Amino acid sequence: MAAQCRLAGIARSTVYADKAEVDEVELMLLRLLDEEYTRHPFYGSRKMTVWLRDQGHAVNRKRVQRLMRILGLIAMAPGPNTSKKHPEHTVYPYLLRGLSVLRPNQVWSTDITYIRLAHGFVYLVAIIDWYSRKVLSWRVSNTMDVGFCVDCLTAALKQYGTPDIFNTDQGSQFTSVKWIAVLQENSIKISMDGRGRALDNIFVERLWRSVKYEDIYPKNYVYIPELLLGLTAYFAFYNSERYHQALGYKTPDQVYLTAEGGGSTIVDKFIKLTDKDTTGGLHVDKA
């Protein structure tokens, strides 16, 4: 893998661990679940089970729940929390309700998503600035271990400074001692989504939709080095060239650098954007 990363021009720390072998049938089911969740993120394990059966796959709900845990998926509608939470880790309160995000580096957030390859899968973590929607850092790994998340966080802090608040879900990576220690060492306030409230991290969910529909699905990457090259190019495009309706058709880089044209306000479980956009399945106050 080190030699492949050198040939691809990618830092070794960007990718973690060699890919494990995956049963082809299970891999096919994981791909189907990933695509259907990207289309309908409000589907829980019950609806996913029904949908897979309609596609001709003999699965029960227990198997679907296990596969969704592998993917780290949770329905965006309120319901039982399927995020893998560590019972001994401290959970912090949600700090964003009623907060107006008015400038870059006020609020950052992160999440992990499943990325399919032709013969396996890996996980992608990214850190995003809420005001500008700029992707500040990202890493790829074949496990959900906290190491690649901490490395991603450290890289973002080194390049962009510190946010006032960092928001995550209650997954074990983001409640771990290693993750929390980095935030506390940098005097960053810690915010965590409520149980069953995936909408609290909606900007990262929107990023995953864009990454998958605009890059991952069309290109159908086979190996990790080409995935890394592709993601490097895509995130550069996303930050510096891709116009965002929610930013008044500016790019995240423009909004981050000028501190103009971004922002949002969290009102209960809804997000009030600074523009008239109504994408993402949210109610948006147009006032």
pLDDT in tens, 117-175: 887 889 999 999 999 999 999 999 988 889 999 999 999 999 999 999 999 988 889 99
Task: List, in sequence order, every beta strand (DSSP E) within 4-154.
Answer: 15-16, 100-101, 107-117, 120-129, 135-141
Task: List, in sequence order, every beta strand (DSSP E) within the chain.
Answer: 15-16, 100-101, 107-117, 120-129, 135-141, 165-168, 189-192, 264-267, 270-273
CATH of residue 17: 3.30.420.10
pLDDT of residue 14: 54
pLDDT of residue 273: 54
Q: What is the mean pLDDT of residues 67-78?
A: 66
Write out the residue range of the structural domain in which residue 95 sits: 1-287
Report residue 222 as tokens: 């086979």
Instruction: Please tell me the total count of domains within the chain.
Output: 1
pTM above 0.75, yes or no: no
b/e per residue, 155-184, with b = 16+ CB within 10 A? bbbeebeebbbbbbbbbbbbbbeebbeebe
The pLDDT > 70 percentage for the chain reads 75
